[in-house]
């Protein structure tokens, strides 16, 4: 049996149980995208960098509506969510050129969900050799880039297409809102 050790996650686990505010809801409504690590918002979804990443550019994509499970999403939310997943993957491919990805959602605490009340999809880029001796010998994960730098790099690849403009009527998707949503 292989064991995945992630001792750096303990900081997150301790903070998650104390968190009074949902990070995805906060990011969806945020006026400070830098502080909340918002990579992109669309009409129905939000992409944020993981503040406790497994790897550089570890991004989470969540519906803007606070739901815990995928079957609670409307079809338009599912389409928007996975269109944003695709967009983030393209941006990471262009900027970082990873060798592969781990992509998935953990539903429920027993499945590994740190934030179980708000569905989110993890996008974790992977490179050959990205598990160095540090986690094995020193119980330390080396993330070679500051989160603000990662945020700037990914946003530069995304441009403005698909960003949400705030209007008096609420958020509106610029440029790419699918006709059927």
Active site amino acids: 120
Kindly report the length of the chain.
181
Closest by CA position to 60, among listed 27, 108, 31: 27
Question: How deeply is 53 buried, as exposed, middle or buried, from its count of CB atoms within 10 A (0-12, 13-18, 19+)?
Answer: buried
Q: Tokens in use for 105?
A: 């959602």
On the CB side of 71, how many CA atoms lie within 13 Å of its CA? Answer: 1
Closest by CA position to 22, among listed 31, 30, 14: 30
Helix (H, G, I), strand (E, B) or coil at 138: helix
Closest by CA position to 63, among listed 102, 32, 34, 24: 24
């Amino acid at each position: 049996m292989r064991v995945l050790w992630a001792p750096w996650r303990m900081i997150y686990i301790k903070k998650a149980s104390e968190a009074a505010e949902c990070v995805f809801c906060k990011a969806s409504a945020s006026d400070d995208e830098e502080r909340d690590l918002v990579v992109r918002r669309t009409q129905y979804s939000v992409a944020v960098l993981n503040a406790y990443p497994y790897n550089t550019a570890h991004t989470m994509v969540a519906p803007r509506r606070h739901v815990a499970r995928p079957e609670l999403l409307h079809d338009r939310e599912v389409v928007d969510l996975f269109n944003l997943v695709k967009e983030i993957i393209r941006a990471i491919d262009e900027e970082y050129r990873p060798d592969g990805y781990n992509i998935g959602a953990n539903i429920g605490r027993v499945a590994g969900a740190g934030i179980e009340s708000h569905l989110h999809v993890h996008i974790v880029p992977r490179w050959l050799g990205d598990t160095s001796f540090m986690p094995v010998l020193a119980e330390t994960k080396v993330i070679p880039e500051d989160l603000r730098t990662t945020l700037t790099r990914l946003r530069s690849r995304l441009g403005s297409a698909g960003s949400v403009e705030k209007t008096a009527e609420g958020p509106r998707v610029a440029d790419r809102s699918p006709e059927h949503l």
